[in-house]
Amino acid sequence: MTSLQPGKARRILLKLSGEALGGQSGFGIEPEILSATAAQIRKVQEHGVQVVLVIGGGNIFRGAALQKAGLDRVAGDQMGMLATVMNGLAMRDELVRQGGECVLMSAYGIPSISAQYSAVQGREILSKGQALIVAGGTGSPFFTTDTAAILRGVELCCDEVFKATKVDGIYTADPMKDKNAQRFDRLSFDEVLKRELEVMDLTAFALARDHQMSIRVFSMNKEGALLRASLGEDEGTLVCTTGV
Ligand code: UDP
């Protein structure tokens, strides 16, 4: 596997769900998962790829679930967004412990905890080769971190947004339920809509389509998948303007 040429740095945004950090239970933060994920990210950086991370908060709080329990949706979503900051703090700590340089920004500044997100400063940080974690979602309730991932991906001029899932791409049907399900290597945005395939929520998806931000879906559990995808090799399913 070759490293990318200096001067041609690829910039990727990795969207991790909060649940992924929670391991088997999907709750809280599993130290081993955190450490293994950070190690994969460090490897990508060592190959000269610039990395933005957007982490969800579903392992701690989700606004919609809190609303069902009787809480106001806005307050619940704010708790969800704060949960993404907690995950961001944990990931920054782990990346730094593994020898990396990493800056945590949040959609809303929390003095002494995280800097206020700025696209201009974010791009500078990335150009220096430091990892950038952008927490706090979009900063607004009723959105998801998938939407935040596309938004930040566009703002920070990323080449691709990676959506890490349990499955190694997008299939014709749920591969856990249907043995004949087939994986797509590449799909156009229009084809995803025509086939009613679930990639991201519609707000996130529409933003990606409008700004021609390619989305790569793959599994972090597959050995070397993140590195291959980061180096621009075929991995999982790529959703982009041209499709097959
Ligand atoms: N959230 C929000 N606005 C955003 C992003 C997230 O209100 O822009 C809240 C929302 O309550 C959501 C929670 O934060 O349920 C955690 O985010 P998400 O569910 O997207 O996390 P994931 O499923 O990726 O772990």
Q: State the DSSP string of 182-244.
A: -B-SEEEHHHHHHTT--SS-HHHHHHHHHTT-EEEEEETTSTTHHHHHHTT---SEEEESS--
Is 110 in a helix, a strand, or coil? strand
Contacts of 75 (CB under 8 A, 6+ apart): 66
Instruction: List strand residue ranges (DSSP E) for 26-130, in order.
Output: 50-55, 102-106, 115-116
Q: 2 lies in a domain?
A: no
Share of the chain above pLDDT 90, in %: 91
Residue 70 pLDDT more than 80? yes
Q: 196 lies in a domain?
A: yes
Rounded to whole angstroms, the Cα distance separating 209 from 18 reads 24
Q: Ligand 1: list residues with CB < 6 Å.
A: 17-19, 56-58, 62-64, 76-77, 80-81, 83-84, 137-138, 140-141, 143-145, 147-148
Distance from Cα 81 to the centre of ligand 1, integer Å = 6
Question: Residue 5 has what pLDDT?
Answer: 53
CATH number at residue 89: 3.40.1160.10
Question: Residue 24 has what pLDDT?
Answer: 86
Distance from Cα 144 to the centre of ligand 1, integer Å = 4
Helical pair 119-127 and 145-155, crossing angle rounded to 10 deg = 70
Q: What is the arithmetic mean of pLDDT over 154-175?
A: 95
Better-predicted residue by pLDDT, 243 or 70: 70
Q: 4 lies in a domain?
A: no
Question: Residue 8 has what pLDDT?
Answer: 63
Q: Which of 13, 72, 77 to mutate to test the pocket of ligand 1 (most atoms within 8 A of CB)?
A: 77
Rounded to whole angstroms, the Cα distance separating 21 from 131 reads 18
Q: 78 lies in a domain?
A: yes
Q: Which of 17, 60, 81, 91 to mutate to test the pocket of ligand 1 (most atoms within 8 A of CB)?
A: 81
- When pLDDT is cut at 50, 70 and 90, the band that residue 234 belongs to is very high
Question: Residue 213 has what pLDDT?
Answer: 98
Q: What domain range includes position 23?
A: 11-240
Tally the domains of the chain: 1
Residue 216 pLDDT more than 90? yes
The whole-angstrom distance between residue 220's C-alpha and the CA centroid of its chain comes to 11
Whole-number average pLDDT of the chain: 94
Nearest by Cα to 21 from 71, 89, 117: 89
Q: What is the arithmetic mean of pLDDT over 119-140?
A: 98
Rounded to whole angstroms, the Cα distance separating 122 from 141 reads 23
Question: Residue 1 has what pLDDT?
Answer: 43
Question: Residue 109 has what pLDDT?
Answer: 87
Q: Copy the structure tokens of residue 49.
A: 């790829």
